[in-house]
Amino acid sequence: MMSKRLRGAVALLACLALGACGTPSAGPNDPVYTWDMTVTVGESSTWYQAAERFADTLERESDGRMQLRVFTGEQLSAGDPVAGVEQLMNGDKDFSYNSTIIYAGIDPRFGAINAPFLYRDYDEADRALRGGATEAYEKLTAEFGITMLGFGESGFRQLTNNVRAVEQPSDLAGIKTRIPGIGMFTDFFRDLGANPTTMNFSEVFTSLQQGTIEGQENPMDVISSSGLAEVQTYLTVWNYVYDPLVLGVNQELFDSLSPEDQEIVREAAADANAFQVETNRGLEQQQIAEQSELMETSELSDRQLEDFQRAVGPLHERYEQVWGPEMVRAVTPER
pLDDT in tens, 116-127: 999 999 999 999
pTM of the entire predicted model: 0.87
- Output the pLDDT for position 67: 98
What phi and psi, each to the nearest 5 degrees, are found at residue 244?
-80, 160
- Output the pLDDT for position 5: 52
Selection from 37, 38, 33, 36 nearest residue 8 by Cα:
33
- Output the pLDDT for position 28: 67
Burial 175-212 (b: 16+ CB within 10 A, else e): bbbbbbbbebbbbbbebbebebbebbbbebbebbeeee
pLDDT at residue 20 is higher than 80: no
Average pLDDT of the chain is 92
- Output the pLDDT for position 275: 98
pLDDT at residue 4 is higher than 70: no
- Output the pLDDT for position 334: 81
pLDDT digits (tens, 9 = 90+) for 47-68: 999 999 999 999 999 999 999 9
pLDDT digits (tens, 9 = 90+) for 316-335: 999 999 999 999 999 999 86
- Cα 310 to Cα 45: distance, rounded to the nearest angstrom: 34
Share of the chain above pLDDT 70, in %: 91
- Output the pLDDT for position 24: 38
pLDDT digits (tens, 9 = 90+) for 275-321: 999 999 999 999 999 999 999 999 999 999 999 999 999 999 999 99
- Cα 189 to Cα 174: distance, rounded to the nearest angstrom: 10
User: Can you give the CATH number for the domain in which 324 is found?
Assistant: 3.40.190.170
- Output the pLDDT for position 26: 58
pLDDT grade for 11, boundaries at 50, 70 and 90: very low
Share of the chain above pLDDT 90, in %: 87
Which region among 12-16, 168-172, 186-190 has the lowest average model confidence (pLDDT)?
Answer: 12-16
pLDDT at residue 16 is higher than 90: no
- Cα 182 to Cα 105: distance, rounded to the nearest angstrom: 5
pLDDT digits (tens, 9 = 90+) for 175-229: 999 998 889 999 999 999 999 999 988 899 999 999 999 999 999 988 998 999 9
Per the structure, the count of domains in the chain is 1
Full residue range of the structural domain in which residue 290 is found: 4-331
pLDDT at residue 246 is higher than 60: yes
